[in-house]
Structure 1
């Protein structure tokens, strides 16, 4: 009986672990996310305003709204990389931390001053500079 319960627990943890990242992989961006957008062979900082399937409606930082546009994944890239210092939104408050990994538009982060048991995968809207 113990083996059956243990097997079930391992199976569920594995299944959920593969399901959750793939659920976020469908959209390339999140509202509020900071990113870079390719325009005429140069990358410009931008912020996501809306999301529709595989497109992101962005505003270019420092430009007026006449430049806002829908962009796809070929012109959109995440602006955080492994090792970047970031702020992470947790329960309505921002905490300092670092990016440990980037996977399918999700970030594995660590909080400054907290042990690794607090490390977690977060969606882009919860990460800021």
Structure 2
């Protein structure tokens, strides 16, 4: 077999065939070769028995391959996720996922296969939405419920222990001790408990500034992922100045029940909204009826917020 300078070949080294190119043809049937993807320091003269014509079809004949394609590449005895960086005749340069370009490798088609079909982020989000709807439907239908909750004189029938415990650490602790079908709770009002349960099942609930305040307070006793942030975010919805001011008055009466950090977060979110509507606030009837000390305190907080922003 006659080889020529510049010809793409495969080079046998350490029981493996590597892509390369012939640089020079020497005497006594030796060939100076370069390994594709390796620096010139790895160039070496080898015997004819250690080179062969590439056994795979040219990579550029495969119309399905494009730079940027996600594929799987074989290295050792395992397959790794990779992306195509470059395509040359017979060889494809790949970059392995989560590895630097120092690990980029030229491989032949036989060491390449289509990536396994992965569920796209959009599909995951869609599946998550469907699951949330299914859980929410259990709240509406109360099918397969296994616990009833009594809040003073009001009952909530057909709730689900597994959902309550999975979403709220307080319920998880309660159900470890209580296995009865009836659970009595006396540290939360029935109105706020109803909102809490709806959020647990649906991760959404309609709030006004006052209900947001009391649900925020309840979330300290009944922690649910995202609930406090949801309450704070609801303050930036289309709320009237009157409702925001009423919430501020209520907040002043209940803030002592909150830890200082949570107290500061709610106050800041509420004052932010009032300061953004300051002109409307000063003209509102509720503002003019505020207790003098409360009025002075609120004006100072709004002024400080305006100066900061």
The bucket for the TM-score relative to the shorter chain is 0.3 to 0.5
Q: Which structure would you say has the larger Rg?
A: 2
| Higher share of residues assigned helix | 2
| Higher share of residues assigned strand | 1
TM-score of the superposed pair, with normalisation by structure 2: 0.20
TM-score of the superposed pair, with normalisation by structure 1: 0.45
